[in-house]
Amino acid sequence: MLTRRAALAFVLGVVALAATWAVFLTIPAGLRLRAVRWTAPRATRDPAAPLQFRSDGSFQISIFEDLHFGENAWEHWGPQQDLNSVCVMESVLDAEQPDLVVLNGDLITGENTFRANSTAYVGQIVAPMIRRTVPWASTYGNHDSDFNLSRTALLAREQQQKPAGLARTVNMLPDAPHAGVTNYYLPVYGSDCHMHTGSSSGGVSDNDGRCIPLLILWFFDSRGGFEYQQKDAATGARIGKENWVDSAAVAWFETTQAALLAKYARAIPSLAFVHIPPNVVYALQMDSTAPAGGGIDPHRQPGINDDKPLAQQAQGWCEDGTNGPIEAKASTTGCAYGGQDGPFMRAVAHSGNGTGVIALFSGHDHGDTWCHTWEAGHTVPGAGVPGTGVHICFGQHTGYGGYGTWTRGARQVLVTESSLAAAAAARRRPVVDTWIRLETGAVVGRVSLNATYGQDAYPATPDTHTHCPTCDSGPQQAPKLQVQNGKKAKEGWKQI
């Protein structure tokens, strides 16, 4: 009997190896090489050290967004999508060598996960950063909450990753669970600051008086998706979560800003990150009255503009706080836009006065990759809030999960100490350079977010696409990945 078992095990092993090899051979050679390539780790550094500008005075962020891991674990194309997403992340990290990675929402496709392993994808998502000792910070998106996926559990899984300290995602509003779990800020200190091991929001020696943060990174939870393990008693449908930055998070933002101003006796320039864009971004996209000409000009605001109109915060909700039967993706009893993100827009605009918020970065709309400027003094029709010059940018769809076949990549954001110092001396907004690194290695959409952005001319961004033949889901599922059905897929995958 033992011999028969051994023989059976041998045969099964051979069959499994042959099946694995067969799948491997179906992957294009370029992707195979990228998947197995080993790269030398970045220079050793303390994983828990506070964020700091480099010795050359630069600080760079890579934004990975809409990864959508776990889209289909029970067929071969689902895990292959995730492997390809890892390849994208690794190629970007090796090319750009960032100081911080921002995971800007929709890490996981929560509606397709099982309760028992819904957060297990975190380890695969953050492995590229761990291998390179690059810290990361997350915001969560609408697909990061569902019947089988808990935001709280997702955060806990992030914070369990080793080595300790690389995960910078924290919840600074633990007493307001309805506001989400990724509302927090991270300070970035100067290159001449004497650092020692400590927490991500402290742990610095300021005996010489130079350890005042030069930059603040704000992270907001735009929520959305569905409540964890809850269904409507009458219909059995999942219960939708509000899809805007909660008023409690806005109050925390304003209070914390005031405290930082009092502590350091100056407004510290900042960048902000949120998954679902506020309504002002929709208004800018559709506006024809803006001082710089309105709308999205391919040479003034270079980037893909295929998701038009885009999907914004409070989409599908009514002003009284009710919404339609979102489980069925219907809109017969819902509203187009409820306006609940108004307080967040006002807070960002107010902070944008002087040297506050320089730019706000969003994801969610996979087919949009442009930056725009919320012109000072311009009240965008439909937003009702006058601008203060804050720049607003989309990133690049990074994951092979989610709708659309646009070439995957990641937006890069570069801030320099020299730009911050020059802006402080001139009492103006600092200049931030940004571009998109594609999985192909190409760089597109390189711009400077400065006082003349929106007037300066840049090369148009080519609307390119990539295809993963081993990620095809078959004829019955093809609309998920076919760009020609992008509008339909957008409604099916993103509608809250």
Q: In this structure, how many other beta carbons lie within 10 angstroms of the beta carbon of residue 215? A: 22
Contact 156, 170 (CB under 8 A): no
Question: Residue 150, by phi and psi: left (phi above 0), alpha (psi -120 to 50) or beta?
Answer: beta
Q: Please provide the size of the chain in residues.
A: 496
- Domain residue spans in the chain? 57-494
- Alpha-carbon distance of 287 to 343, in angstroms, equals 21
Residue whose C-alpha is closest to residue 470's, from 23, 17, 18, 112:
23
Angle between helices 151-159 and 121-132 in degrees, nearest 10: 30
Mean of the per-residue pLDDT values for the chain? 83
Take residue 390 and report the two structure tokens written for it: 């804050």
- Whether CATH 3.60.21.10 fits 57-494: yes
- Alpha-carbon distance of 286 to 305, in angstroms, equals 11
Angle between helices 279-286 and 342-351 in degrees, nearest 10: 80
- Alpha-carbon distance of 363 to 368, in angstroms, equals 8
Take residue 284 and report the two structure tokens written for it: 């800018």
| Residue 136 reports pLDDT greater than 60 | yes
Contact 406, 366 (CB under 8 A): yes
| Residue 392 reports pLDDT greater than 50 | yes
Query: Which of 12-21, 62-71, 350-359 is least confident?
Result: 12-21
* 472-to-36, 78, 192 alpha-carbon distances in Å: 22, 9, 51
- Alpha-carbon distance of 241 to 224, in angstroms, equals 5
Residue whose C-alpha is closest to residue 363's, from 466, 231, 220:
220
Number of helices (H), then strands (E), belonging to the chain: the values are: 10, 15
Query: Which of 9-18, 39-48, 137-146 is least confident?
Result: 9-18
Question: In which residue are the tokens 């023989």 written?
Answer: 7
pLDDT in tens, 171-203: 999 999 999 999 999 999 999 987 655 444 444
Question: In which residue are the tokens 């303390």 written?
Answer: 46
pLDDT in tens, 435-492: 999 999 999 999 999 999 999 999 999 999 998 777 765 433 332 322 322 333 333 3
